[in-house]
Amino acid sequence: MQAFPYSTTATPSAVVVPPSLTLPVIESSFPRQLHPYWPRLQEKTRLWLLDKRLMPADKVREYADGLCYTDLMAGYYTSAPEEVLQAIADYSAWFFVWDDRHDRDIVHGRAGDWRRLRYRLHTALDAPRHHLHHPDPVVAGFADSVLRLYGFLSSTWNQRFARHFHAVIEAYDREFRNRTEGYIPGVEEYLALRRLTFAHWIWTDLLEPSAGCELPDRVRKNPAYRRAALLSQEFAAWYNDLCSLPKEIAGDEVHNLGISLITHAGLTLEQAVDEVRRRVEECIGEFLEVEQKALVFARELDDGTVGGKELSAAVESCVGSMRNWFSSVYWFHHESGRYMVDSWDDRSTPPYVTNEAAGEK
């Protein structure tokens, strides 16, 4: 279903996008979609956050819906079965909570806490059933969401997902060290690291259970399919950097494409903003070209057999979800309370986070 052209939050109103962040091609050529399960999804993810103690009850009550985490996923995996979308949405909400925990551990210099959490996430990823009752809610919540995701496809898909997320955990560790040491990575180094901290291949992996089909290597590695998947994720990561650049410069951050361009390419702030925007717009333009090639590839997979027809439909569904990611990410950045830094009492401390390191008492 196509979403309303305004917010899905409790107080719907027309969304105003700042001129510097407006992308007319997204607004005109990427109509918003929203899974019809979304209202229940929002409710059940809110309850899951409470049940897993990932956010205090008062913060869930005040902030969870306005953070729009379920909107982001319901606007992406629009063809997913309800059970799959629910598992993905809960996992996504966990990911944001983990990202906030990582940030607070850096801000408060909790290197030991982060080191222990990193180790526990690695072990929970390989044996989630054994960590469902871990005292640290971030570990237990991760185990619960991963175990559910592992139930949709084969052990081969599970192993690929685990391999990709082990790399994400290690990338978060590299970011931890970079930020605590004040190290600003060069542009190419940053881009490679960003593909991991943004979990490009995790969100791409999740296209498959959403389409109800584990894709063979020859499909996933097809140049048009793989390029379309990468471009959709690069857009999301770089648009996030574009939206976050002013507040991250104000907070002495080191991880942002704009900051790497200022430091290592000698650009001014204005030039860096223009360059990030140029890259974002190039992503969109190239995606529109490669999307057509990926759809032709999908149609060619239909060889007249039942299996060929199913595989063709699954690939077409995955490419459609890649397209959805552009509009979902775009509007999320202008609706989620996660980015409304000007409304916070303390611009350095998001009001929806806690500063304690859970599980370390």
Question: Catalytic residues, which ones?
Answer: 95-96, 198, 338
How far is it, in rounded angstroms, from Cα 143 to Cα 306? 36
Q: What is the DSSP letter of 185?
A: -
* Under 8 Å between Cβ of 1 and 258: no
Among residues 236, 147, 250, 163, the alpha carbon closest in space to that of 205 is found at: 163
Main-chain phi, psi angles of 39, to 5 degrees? -60, -40
User: Which of helix, strand or coil describes residue 54?
Assistant: coil
Angle between the 137-149 and 111-126 helix axes, to the nearest 10 degrees? 30
Among residues 110, 104, 70, 109, the alpha carbon closest in space to that of 90 is found at: 70
Instruction: Count CB-CB contacts under 10 A for residue 47.
Output: 13
Main-chain phi, psi angles of 33, to 5 degrees? -120, 155
Main-chain phi, psi angles of 169, to 5 degrees? -60, -45
* Under 8 Å between Cβ of 88 and 80: yes
How far is it, in rounded angstroms, from Cα 162 to Cα 199? 12
How far is it, in rounded angstroms, from Cα 200 to Cα 188? 16
Rounded (to 5) percent helix, strand, coil in the chain: 70, 0, 30
Sorted by sequence, the CB contacts under 8 Å of residue 151 that are 6+ apart come out as: none
- Residue 53: C-alpha distances to residues 15, 252, 358 (Å): 32, 31, 10
Instruction: Count CB-CB contacts under 10 A for residue 307.
Output: 10
